[in-house]
Amino acid sequence: MNTPVFKPSDAVEPKPVAGGTSALGHRLEKHFRHTVHGATGQSNVEVLSAANTSLSADAFEIAQGLGGKGVSVTVLTGMVRLTDVLLIAGTALFAVFTSPEAAGFGLGNLFVTGAAILFALAFFQAADVYQVPVMRQGLSQIGRVAAGWTLVFAMFALLRTTTGIGTELSDAWIGAWFAVSLTGLCLSRFIVYRLVRHWMKSGRLERRAIIVGGGTAAQELIHDLEAQPDNDIRICGIFDDRNNERSPPVVAGYPKLGNISALVEFARLARIDMLIVCIPLRAEQRVLELLKKLWVLPVDIRLSAHTDKVRFRNRGSSFIGTVPFVDVVEKPIADWDMVAKRIFDLVFASLAIITLLPVMIAAAIAVKLDSKGPILFRQKRYGFNNEIIEVLKFRSMYTEMADPDAKKVVTKGDPRVTRVGRFIRKTSIDELPQLFNVLGGSLSLVGPRPHAVNAHTNNKTWDDVVDGYFARHKVKPGVTGYAQINGWRGEVDTPEKIQKRVECDVYYIENWSILFDLKILIQTPFRLLNTENAY
């Protein structure tokens, strides 16, 4: 059985997971996603009962203990590979200076270094040194790396003797390179070993899963998951709308923590990576009802095909060991995509701050001279996964009329807005301080715009106006976004306007790429020339 949920458990490297979504997955996704792309108001899909929407004391305590950020296995293994490449290349160059007989670093040295890198990566891969279970082992990991690196030089020595390749290279350089690289690789692997052990003890190197649906089906699934030798799944609890008579309060040693509405709240507090819906696939209507509520969460959602004894082709499903799943929703912008987007944000936000610094200084002076009060205005808004963040803006209202809770929407000719405020709001100069939010990590440069916590239309908060509204919070909000370049900025006085914003935001999330971000960023200054709805 897995380590109890209250304590982090050691994780192991998963087997390669086949990508793709089955035809059933596409069908289900199309059905429940219609609630966002369709009309406003309540969906025609009947919503499950949500009488109890608050977490129990036990569920809240468990959620509090499951915070913190995780470490992506994909990024970890990629960084270890990159470190190996840099070490081998760097020590090859360094060996020139440590061996007096070496005659510089020529094309021959460059060719041999490149070949050694390719062979080393291949041998290391064959020795499983990029697998987390091996990274957990100190001496075994170092021994495998040393053996792989030695084998590279053994192959080179054999080729040199039989074919004459590399005979022009200095023996002193080859010997120094081997020794220095071996030392560097072993030291780096010792550091990897310590880091991986630390991350495992803290629970950062595990995929945390919630079972949706209980009973015998969940019990069988849990037993089969725990029997997998390469299982990195840590089950954190079970949620089910059925009462205790139909769904026992404890299944295979794991507690039932609440209903589906409570699950949404739980996933907002805890770091959950995956939801496993353990309901027979033939119960399609019930599955659709569940997915309608769960889709707004920034997690992988998989339907367990275990209870139906289904065996999909690899391209139509994913597997944890031999247990099959239907992939319905994948966590957006994860692993290397998240790294690339963060680098994009840091580079372009820094350039924007440097370029627009004179404008920001002028705006700050104008705000200060125009009316009394602070230069900056701070407002609480929804961030990633409904996290409450504080967004910076240049103050555009009179201090005594400021509305940090967004109880009243700003309208045309609003008397609360100062003279300078009208100009900086129309030109969006008031948003420029949010570039510092980007550097701090609470905002992205491009993404769904962060809305105020109490934003509303016709006395209804926007999550009541648009079914599936919180799906836009599956990624980090942005300073600009796809909705803004499509003209949906400024006053939101009708349900249609917020519906269109959400549709654009969901489209962005589903079609994200670095080039898409760049396109939005380039178009933003030109779209800002349209100030029709900006007051």
* Domain match, 126 and 268 both: no
Give the single-character DSSP code of 7. Answer: S
Final residue in a domain of this structure, among 329, 350, 365: 329
* Cα 289 from Cα 260, distance rounded (Å): 10
User: Is residue 533 one of the residues assigned to a domain?
Assistant: no
Burial of 212 (0-12, 13-18, 19+ CB in 10 A): buried
- Measured in degrees and rounded to the nearest 5, phi and psi for residue 311 equal -125, 100
* Domain match, 195 and 210 both: no
User: Is residue 12 one of the residues assigned to a domain?
Assistant: no
Final residue in a domain of this structure, among 294, 329, 364: 329
* Domain match, 80 and 192 both: yes
Domain holding 148, by residue range, is 73-201
Final residue in a domain of this structure, among 282, 300, 329: 329
Q: Give tens-digit pLDDT for 446-486.
A: 999 887 776 666 556 666 666 667 778 888 999 998 988 88
* Domain match, 178 and 134 both: yes
* Domain match, 88 and 158 both: yes
* Cα 75 from Cα 50, distance rounded (Å): 38
Beta bridge partners of 274: 209, 300
Q: What's the one-letter identity of residue 505?
A: D
User: Is residue 532 one of the residues assigned to a domain?
Assistant: no
CATH of the domain at 249: 3.40.50.20
Q: What angle do CA 31, 289, 24 make, to 5 degrees?
A: 45
* Domain match, 392 and 447 both: yes
**Which single residue is written with the structure tokens 């005979």?**
167
Q: What would you report as the CA-atom Rg of the chain, rounded to the nearest whole angstrom?
A: 28
Task: Give the pLDDT confidence score for residue 111 in this predicted structure.
Answer: 85
* Domain match, 30 and 159 both: no
Query: What three-state secondary structure class fits 479?
Result: strand
User: Is residue 133 one of the residues assigned to a domain?
Assistant: yes
* Domain match, 300 and 239 both: yes
* Domain match, 132 and 196 both: yes
Burial of 518 (0-12, 13-18, 19+ CB in 10 A): middle
pTM of the model: 0.64
Alpha-carbon distances of 129 from 9, 13, 136, 198, 384, rounded to whole Å: 21, 11, 10, 18, 34
Checking DSSP bridges between strand 300-304 and strand 323-329, what pairing results, if any? antiparallel
The alpha carbon torsion through 89, 94, 100, 106 (nearest 10 deg) reads 40
Q: What's the one-letter identity of residue 196?
A: V
User: Is residue 114 one of the residues assigned to a domain?
Assistant: yes
For 26-69, give the DSSP string.
Answer: HHHHHHHHHHHHS-SBS-SSPPPP-S--SPPHHHHHHHHTT-S-
User: Is residue 519 one of the residues assigned to a domain?
Assistant: yes
Nearest to 422 by CA among 489, 363, 481: 363
**Which single residue is written with the structure tokens 């990029």?**
130
User: Is residue 14 one of the residues assigned to a domain?
Assistant: no
User: Is residue 10 one of the residues assigned to a domain?
Assistant: no
- Tokens describing residue 523: 């178009």
Alpha-carbon distances of 436 from 350, 352, 354, 427, 477, rounded to whole Å: 9, 10, 12, 19, 14
Beta bridge partners of 389: 381
Query: What three-state secondary structure class fits 521?
Result: helix
* Domain match, 211 and 317 both: yes
* Domain match, 502 and 356 both: yes
Q: State the total domains in the chain.
A: 3
Beta bridge partners of 275: 210, 301
* Domain match, 291 and 361 both: no
Q: Name residues of the chain where pLDDT drops below 50.
A: 1-53, 308-317, 535
Query: What three-state secondary structure class fits 308?
Result: coil
Q: Give tens-digit pLDDT for 167-213.
A: 777 888 888 889 999 999 999 999 999 999 998 888 888 888 898 88
Task: Give the pLDDT confidence score for residue 383 in this predicted structure.
Answer: 85
| Residue 444 near residue 477 (C-beta atoms within 8 A) | yes
Per-residue burial over 308-331, b if 16 or more Cβ lie within 10 Å, else e, is eebebeeebbbbbeebbbbbbbeb
